[in-house]
């Protein structure tokens, strides 16, 4: 099975989610706008407004969807 080029990892204890593009860490996102900007910088979209964040062929969300930015409370 082939992975999407962008992986948004599970939320960290301090909030935010690590983002990798084609296996390289590009930063920590604290909201969907951050992910869109990382994709724009990686050349996957010309405009952050056009980034297909909900397309599983482009972005794989691990540990929650694009609305989850903090870890689950025990």
pLDDT in tens, 9-29: 999 998 899 999 999 999 999
Sign of CA dihedral 53, 57, 58, 61: positive
The answer to the question of residue 66 being in a domain is no
Q: Per the structure, how many domains does the chain have?
A: 1
| Whether pTM exceeds 0.85 | yes
Owning domain of residue 23: 6-61
The answer to the question of residue 31 being in a domain is yes
* 3-state helix/strand/coil string of 1-61: CCCCCEEEEEECCCCCEEEEECCEEEEEECCHHHHHHHHHHCCCCCCHHHCCCCCCCCEEE
Sign of CA dihedral 22, 24, 1, 34: negative
Give 3 or 33, the one with higher predicted confidence: 33
């Amino acid at each position: 099975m082939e992975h999407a080029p962008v992986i948004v990892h599970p939320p960290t204890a301090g909030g935010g989610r690590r983002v990798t593009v084609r296996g390289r860490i590009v930063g920590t996102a604290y909201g969907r706008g951050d992910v869109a900007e990382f994709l724009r910088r990686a050349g996957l979209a010309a405009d952050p407004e056009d980034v297909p964040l909900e397309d599983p062929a482009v972005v794989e969300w691990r540990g929650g969807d694009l609305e989850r930015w903090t870890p689950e409370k025990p």
